[in-house]
C-alpha cells in the first residue's frame, strides 16, 4: 500500500509546474481583462464612483494590465530576474487587492460575498506568487 502512495504522489508531482503555470495564466489574464475594462484613460467610472483623481485612476488601470502581462512573461524568465519579477508582481497584486477590499468592499468582511468573489481568489493568488516566486 505504501508503494501505491509513493507512485501516486510521484505521478502528480510531475504536474506541479503545470498547476503553477495555469494559476499564473488565469490570474494574469484576469488582471489584463480587469485593467483593459478601465480603458480609455482616465477611467471615468473609477473617478466618479470612488472619487479618485484622474492620475490615480489611470495608474490603477495601467497597473492592472502591466501586472497581468509581467506575471505571465516572468514565468518564461528562468533566472533570478524572473523570480524577483514574480514576487514583485505578487506584492503588487496583494496591495491592489487589499486596497480594493478597503475602498470598494468594506462591507464584505466575513460575509458570503468575501468567500465567493474573484477578488478573494486574486488576493490569495497574489500571496502565492509573492511567497513562491518562480520556484517549482
Q: Which tens digits make up the pLDDT trace of 25-40?
A: 999 999 999 999 999 9
CA 95 to chain centre: 10
Flag whether pLDDT at 9 surpasses 80.
yes
Domain-wise residue ranges, the chain? 19-132
| pTM to 2 decimal places | 0.85
Chain CA centroid to CA 9, Å: 28
Residues 89/82, Cβ–Cβ less than 8 Å: no
pLDDT of 58 over the 70 cut: yes
The CA distances from residue 44 to 41, 53, 126, in Å, are 8, 10, 27
pLDDT given at position 136? 63
Name the band, by pLDDT with cuts 50, 70 and 90, for residue 118. Answer: confident
Q: What's the CA gap between 57 and 39, in Å, rounded?
A: 10
Amino acid at each position: 500500500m505504501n508503494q501505491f502512495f509513493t507512485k501516486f504522489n510521484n505521478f502528480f508531482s510531475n504536474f506541479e509546474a503545470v498547476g503553477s503555470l495555469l494559476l499564473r495564466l488565469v490570474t494574469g489574464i484576469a488582471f489584463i481583462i480587469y485593467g483593459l475594462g478601465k480603458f480609455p484613460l482616465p477611467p471615468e467610472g473609477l473617478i466618479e464612483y470612488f472619487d479618485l483623481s484622474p492620475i490615480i485612476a489611470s495608474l490603477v488601470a495601467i497597473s492592472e494590465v502591466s501586472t497581468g502581462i509581467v506575471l505571465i512573461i516572468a514565468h518564461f524568465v528562468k533566472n533570478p530576474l524572473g523570480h524577483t519579477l514574480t514576487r514583485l508582481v505578487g506584492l503588487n497584486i496583494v496591495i491592489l487587492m487589499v486596497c480594493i477590499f478597503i475602498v470598494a468592499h468594506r462591507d464584505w468582511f466575513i460575509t458570503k460575498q468575501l468567500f465567493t468573489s474573484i477578488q478573494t481568489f486574486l488576493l490569495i493568488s497574489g500571496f502565492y506568487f509573492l511567497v513562491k516566486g518562480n520556484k517549482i
